[in-house]
Every structure is written in structure tokens, then in C-alpha cells.
Amino acid sequence: MDTVDAMFESRRYIYTVFLCHLAVEKALKGLYQKRLNETPPKIHNLIYLVEKLNLRPPDDLYEVIFSLNRVSIPTRYPDNIAKMKKEYNKRNTVAFVKKGRGVLTWLRAQL
């Protein structure tokens, strides 16, 4: 997540959250490939991938996955950049990064 750290340090919080989503998405797709021996679908829906893999993350991690899934489209295609800059500030972005790392650690243990 070096790129996440670089985006955060440059105060590009919207993109930091987007990259957290992307990191979790890629980890889920890697697990999908490994477990199902199939090419993962070209989607960004983390919940779909979790369900397809029959994963049972702890409630706190599921909430993180759910939150990252919810912010995927607004951070990927920000219509109102001024609003997004207010919504994704340093404090809540730190929380997303920390929680995203927790999800990645848990996913790694599922290999």
C-alpha cells in the first residue's frame, strides 16, 4: 500500500480511499482466482466477491468492506469534487487506511 501512503501524504484523500478500495478488490480477486480457479468477474462490488467466495469476515471487517464498497463509485468518479474534499478529510481517511489494512491482513490469512 505504498501508493496509498504517497497519496495520503500528498493530501489526496479521495484517491487514498479509492486506492484502499482497489487494494481490497484486488486481494479478493486474487483469492477468487486461487480458490475457484476462475478468472474473477470484471466488477468492483466487494460484497459480491465476498459472497461468491463464501467468506465470513468478522463483523468489524465486514463493516469496513461494506463501507469501502459504498464509497467505490463516488471516489472513482467524483461528480462534486468540492463536496468529496470535505467528506474525505485527513481524520476519516486515516481510519479508512487503517481499517483497510486490517481487511487485507485478514484476506491474506484466508489463502
This prediction's pTM: 0.90
Res. 74: pLDDT tops 90 = no
User: Which residue did the predictor score with more confidence, 65 or 89?
Assistant: 65
70: its cell numbers = 459504498
Q: For the segment 78-105, what is each residue's pLDDT rounded down to a tens digit?
A: 677 777 778 888 999 999 899 999 999 9
User: Which residue did the predictor score with more confidence, 11 or 53?
Assistant: 53
Phi-psi region of 110 (alpha: psi -120 to 50; beta: other; left: phi over 0): alpha
Q: What percent of the chain has pLDDT over 70?
A: 97
User: According to the model, what pLDDT value does residue 78 have?
Assistant: 67
Res. 75: pLDDT tops 90 = no
User: According to the model, what pLDDT value does residue 1 have?
Assistant: 55
Angle formed by the axes of helices 13-36 and 90-109, nearest 10°? 10
